[in-house]
Structure 1
Amino acid sequence: MSVLRSPNMRSDSPQPDLSLRDHDNDSQIAYGKRKQPESECSAEISKLRQEMMSFLKDFSVAQTTNMNKMKEEIMSQLKDQLSGLQITSNKIIAEQNQLKSELKSFKKTTEGDIQALQDSLNYHSGRQDENVQKIQSIASEVTKVNNIGEDIRQLRNKVNDLQFELNTHQQRERLANLEITGLPQKTNEDLRDYLLKISNIAKCQLALEDIISINRVEPRSKLLDKPKVIVAKLRSTLIRDSIISGIRRNRGLTTVDIGLPGEPRQIYVNEHLTPLNKMLFGKAREATKKNGYRYVWVKYGKIFTRKDDTHPPVHIRTIEDISKIK
């Protein structure tokens, strides 16, 4: 229903006073430029009052409906929250009850274990005294073992000294020996002839009488497709050193140089070292190469290294001496 409002009237303004004024005053109300009859004015006022009352009634109903709806929504939300709080509260109560039950059980168990713990402590205290005595006894035995260990260390040093002396003695027996490796092996070969040809290349005068013995020797570590080493025992170290020096001046030796057919193969002529000295020489060569040393050589069965011309030579006697090459 449409409602007639004055230009300044709002829906939230106080209800106007619609009571009838004195007829003398009402007779003074004019609409437009001419006066209307009194009956028409009363009818319009009554109609306006009815429209206002109808509007207020509709507005009140709408407001009541909205308020009820908001109330229902709020109550629903409160119920949901209360339900969640109730569930949480129930969980907390259940956990508290469980904790109380566990505490009671723990208290009973603890009361029962205290006496057992006290008895166990008394028992272990007695055992501890026994263990102290055993530890003291073991410490005494350890002292004896340490003394034995010192004896073993001294014995090991003596063994090393004896090994060094034995190696020195064995090397001394080989001072006049010449070792030839890389020379192909064949049946009915004349090793003395090979040695004479090698001495000629080295420009060393060698007679058959200077060769005391010459044989092929099986190496301790057999190498596949490698000929056996030739060891020649000569009359003097001077002859041996002359042959070795001559081959070095010749810048090496091959099978072609001594008249053997086929592809040339390198032949090496060196001093005849003991197995221990061969091992030390190999280790020394590896260490000098790794640490940038310029020289490593053997002289009269002794192994030497030298960093460069400004450093003194280092004599390698034992495997511990390899650590000096740094």
Structure 2
Amino acid sequence: MASKQCGACPNPIKGQEYLHCLNCNGFYDLICASVSASKFKIMTKDSRKAWVCDGCRNKRPKGDNTNTPLRTNQASSPSSLSSGGTASTNSESQPSSMNITVRKTIKPMDMNDPASKAPNQVDKLPSDFRNDLLQFIKDELPTILRDALSSELRGLNTQMVELCDKVNDIKEANEMLRSSVKKCETAITSLRTENTKLTNLCKELETRVTALERDGQQQQQWARLQNLEIVGVPESEGESTVNIVQKIAKNIGVTVKTEDIDFAHRIQPFRSSGGKPRSIVVRFRQRHVKDALYASARKSRDLTTVSLGMGGDSKRVYVNEHLTLNNKKLLQICKTKAKECNVRFVWTKNCRIYTRKNEKSPPVLVLSESDLRKLIS
């Protein structure tokens, strides 16, 4: 399809943004049509169809010419014309034959002509009346102007007073607001100071609570310092836990008399034969007896239910220090962490937990979970 040519410039029209003249059927781009792109977008289809270019618009009459006189056919007929010069002379000398009305030329008014001057009406007034009128104007005009000006100024003064009152009210409100803001700032400063004190007090109390909890744990563990916990011994009806402790001591080569034992009992509720047996807690009257039994049990690896003369499958029997619940959890965490960090030794002595990375490294005391980071270093 051939591109359209703009009717006002030599450039071809590209795209769909152009206008089509209703009269001459010409195509015009928006620049030659003097139409902006935004105006073109809001034009309706009817307005675009009715659009007329500037050339066709200039050919239209600028106004109503229905009253313009037209020459009759007589003026242009050959009978009324003789030669070129004669026809021109006749048309100028006989305008009535062409139905054209020629008005008379109006001469400009001579301003120096006395007849053209308008009569002065004030001069026709009597001299006494004219003097009285002028005197009245001189006397009363200042008063009239003064009263009118005073009235206007009075209104402005009233408005000014009202405006001043409003400004004063705004000032008072502003002062009250400033005072409230200062009070709030003072209260906030006081609250911040109090908050800082309370924060420091809370930190101090947390430190004290932590210390008290640690002291309580140490006291509980100290009370169990002469205890041992035996795990893995099967339960039986009518058993004597004291005799079981003595059998274990004899099996690992330690002599324990009945009078050396303060008490020995199971510490968990009785369970069925299918569950794990309850542990035995034994308290010795003297600490050195407990230490000797525990040291021998650590060296012994063949302490089983069969070696103790108990029936059933052979199961390991463990002799441990009687730790508190928190220390048991901490010991379990240490063992798990030791496997992750390749720490070879984890043990307890005097109810305290120790770790050692290898045979050459020094032992590390673990009192809390925060000490576990020493395993990594």
Query: Please, what TM-score do these two structures have when normalized by structure 2?
Result: 0.52
The corresponding residue for 1:156 is 206
SS in 1 for 2:202: helix
1:202 and 1:317 map into 2 onto residues whose CA distance is: 31
CA deviations 1:175-216 (Å, max 9, x no partner) are 211101122223222212211111111100111121110011
| C-alpha contact (below 8 Å) 1:293/1:305 kept by paired residues | yes
CA deviations 1:137-176 (Å, max 9, x no partner) are 3343123112111111111111222222222222222121
Aligned letter for 1:289?
Answer: K
Aligned letter for 1:267?
Answer: V
After TM superposition, list the pairs within 5 Å mapping 1:271-286 onto structure 2: 271-286=321-336
Distance 1:134 1:324, change over 3 A: farther
SS in 2 for 1:304: strand
After TM superposition, list the pairs within 5 Å mapping 1:127-166 onto structure 2: 134=184, 137-166=187-216
Q: Does 1:93 align with 2:143?
A: no
2:347 and 2:178 map into 1 onto residues whose CA distance is: 65
After TM superposition, list the pairs within 5 Å mapping 1:171-190 onto structure 2: 171-190=221-240
1:94 and 1:320 map into 2 onto residues whose CA distance is: 78
Distance 1:164 1:231, change over 3 A: same
Aligned letter for 2:320?
Answer: N
| Counterpart selection for 1:257 from 307, 316, 324 | 307
SS in 2 for 1:215: strand
| C-alpha contact (below 8 Å) 1:202/1:244 kept by paired residues | no
The corresponding residue for 1:24 is none
Aligned letter for 2:257?
Answer: A
1:234 is displaced (CA, Å) by 1.2
SS in 2 for 1:218: coil
2:244 and 2:360 map into 1 onto residues whose CA distance is: 40
The corresponding residue for 2:105 is none
1:217 is displaced (CA, Å) by 0.6
Greater relative contact order: 1 or 2 (C-alpha under 8 angstroms, separation 6 or more)?
A: 1
Aligned letter for 2:206?
Answer: R
Distance 1:138 1:324, change over 3 A: farther
The corresponding residue for 1:195 is 245
CA deviations 1:261-306 (Å, max 9, x no partner) are 2222222101111222222222222222222222221111111112
1:95 is displaced (CA, Å) by 4.7
Aligned letter for 1:93?
Answer: K
1:82 and 1:287 map into 2 onto residues whose CA distance is: 79
1:294 and 1:286 map into 2 onto residues whose CA distance is: 11
Distance 1:201 1:128, change over 3 A: farther
Structure 1: stretches of 5+ with no match in the other structure: 1-72, 98-122
Distance 1:274 1:138, change over 3 A: same
SS in 2 for 1:231: strand
1:235 is displaced (CA, Å) by 2.1
Question: Aligned residues: percent identity?
Answer: 28
1:218 and 1:132 map into 2 onto residues whose CA distance is: 66
1:245 and 1:314 map into 2 onto residues whose CA distance is: 20
| C-alpha contact (below 8 Å) 1:202/1:245 kept by paired residues | no
CA deviations 1:92-140 (Å, max 9, x no partner) are 314579xxxxxxxxxxxxxxxxxxxxxxxxx99x979966763553343
The corresponding residue for 1:110 is none
| C-alpha contact (below 8 Å) 1:252/1:268 kept by paired residues | no
SS in 1 for 2:317: strand
4+ long deviations beyond 6 Å = 126-129
The corresponding residue for 1:268 is 318
1:161 and 1:85 map into 2 onto residues whose CA distance is: 86
Q: Does 1:84 align with 2:134?
A: no
The corresponding residue for 2:53 is none
| C-alpha contact (below 8 Å) 1:293/1:308 kept by paired residues | yes
CA deviations 1:39-62 (Å, max 9, x no partner) are xxxxxxxxxxxxxxxxxxxxxxxx
| C-alpha contact (below 8 Å) 1:296/1:304 kept by paired residues | yes
The corresponding residue for 2:259 is 209
Distance 1:266 1:82, change over 3 A: closer
- How many pairs does the alignment contain? 225
The corresponding residue for 2:351 is 301
RMSD of aligned Cα (Å): 3.4
Structure 2: stretches of 5+ with no match in the other structure: 7-11, 20-28, 44-172
